[in-house]
Amino acid sequence: MSVNIDWDQLGFAYMELPYRWRAYWKDGEWYKEGLEEGKKFLISEGSTSLHYGQEAFEGLKAYRTKTGQIQLFRVDQNAQRLVNSAKRLLMPEYPVEKFIEAVKKTVQANADYVPPYGSGASLYIRPLLIGVGDNIGVSPAPEYIFTVFCMPVGPYYRNGLAPMPFVTSKYDRAAPFGTGASKVGGNYGGSLLPGQHAHAEGYGDVVYLDPATHTKVEEIGSANFYGIEKETNKFITPKSPSILPSITKYSLLYLAKERLGLEVEEGDVYVDELDRFAEAGAMGTAAVISPISRIDHGDKTFYFYSETEVGPITQCLYNELVGIQYGDIEAPEGWIFPVE
C-alpha cells in the first residue's frame, strides 16, 4: 500500500494510523494483547488517570535506513524507563520484552507510514500506560490499559538544527523527590503555562532551575541540558533526582566520550556560571539536539557559540547520533533493534 504524504512538509503533529497495540490488565494479569484498529476506546469516568494522574508514557522513533530497513533506537531503554515510571505510580509493569515486541508489531503494521530515508522525517512512537476502571478514592486503579500508537513526524523544530534563545523560569518543573525522574503527564501539564509565556516572548522554551534552591540548571523545556566547557571541551550535563533520565542524554554522553574523545561529566550546573560554556544545547527524543544561542536569566544574559551557527562539537554529536539512528554510522553494540 502506498500513502499520499508529503514527507518533506511533515510537522510534529498527531496523525491517526491504521493500527495500534493494546493490552489490558485486571486481576493481576495482562490479557487481550494485540493489534487493534481505531484511535478511540471507552474508559470509566472513575479512572484514576483522569482524576489522580495515574498514567505514564514514552516517546521513541523508528527510522528507515538507506537500504529500506526499518530500525528502532535503544527501545529497551524506553521499556525499562516505563517500568520505572510504573513502579513510582503503583501501576503494573509491562515487561521489557513484551514492550519491545509491542513496539515492533505496531511499527510493522504501519510500515507504509515510516518516512523514506533522506526525508529527515521518522516514525514517532508513543507507548502509554493508564489507570482505568471504577474508582474514586485516592488509590491505585483496578484496571489498566497499555497502548502503543505512532505517526510520521518531521523535525520537532521547524528550523531544524538552528540555535534558539531560552529563558529561565520562575516556575518549577517538578518537586524535590517528586515525580521528575518519571515520565508522567503531570510533569508536562505544569509546563504548559511557562512554555506559553516563553514562546510569546520569542524564546524556544524555558530553562527550569532546581526546585530546592533555584540556583542550578535542571531541564530545558521537556529536554535535558548540556554544555561544552571552554578550554577543556568537557561535555557536562546536570545530575539531579528530579531530572528525567533522557535516553538521548546518555547516548550523547557515551558518544562524546567514546567517539569524540571528550571528557564527560554529570554534575551541578550553576545558572550563574553558565559563561563557562562555549556551546550549549537541549537534547531529547523529539528534538534530538537543539543548540542554545543564549539564556536570559533575570538581568543577566549568557551567550554561547553563535546566534546563527551551530557549534562544531554540537554539530559532530548531532551527526554521530543521527547517523547511527538512520543506519549510516555503525552503532554501539545493542543500540539498534531491526524491525523485520
Distances (CA, A) of 296 to 24, 150, 205, 218: 46, 36, 11, 15
286: its cell numbers = 523529539
Catalytic residue among 183, 230, 239, 257: 183
Please check whether residue 299 is in contact with residue 319, taking contact to mean a CB–CB distance below 8 angstroms: no
Closest CA to 326 of 293, 288, 282: 288
| Dihedral sign (CA 75, 81, 82, 87) | positive
Distance CA 268, CA 209 (A): 11
Please check whether residue 190 is in contact with residue 53, taking contact to mean a CB–CB distance below 8 angstroms: no
pLDDT of res. 287: 79
226: its cell numbers = 548540556
pLDDT of res. 159: 64
pLDDT of res. 155: 76
The parts of the chain modelled with pLDDT lower than 70 are 1-2, 157-160
3 state DSSP class of 335: coil
310: its cell numbers = 551551530
Helix (H) or strand (E) holding 48: helix 48-51
Which segments of 110-179 does DSSP mark as H helices, in order?
Answer: none
Distance CA 49, CA 51 (A): 6
Contacts of 42 (CB under 8 A, 6+ apart): none
Catalytic-residue membership of 183 = yes
CA atoms within 13 A on the CB side of 336: 21
Q: What does the longest C-alpha to C-alpha distance in the chain come to?
A: 59
Distance CA 211, CA 309 (A): 32
Domains delineated in the chain: 20-153 (3.30.470.10), 164-326 (3.20.10.10)
| Dihedral sign (CA 173, 177, 181, 185) | negative
Distance CA 119, CA 66 (A): 11
pLDDT of res. 158: 64
As a dihedral over the C-alpha atoms of residue 154, residue 159, residue 160, residue 166, rounded to 10 degrees, the angle is: -120
Distance CA 15, CA 50 (A): 23
Distances (CA, A) of 201 to 102, 162, 165, 172, 311: 41, 18, 10, 19, 25
Length of the chain: 340
Distances (CA, A) of 165 to 18, 214, 293: 38, 20, 5
Closest CA to 81 of 320, 265, 243, 257: 243
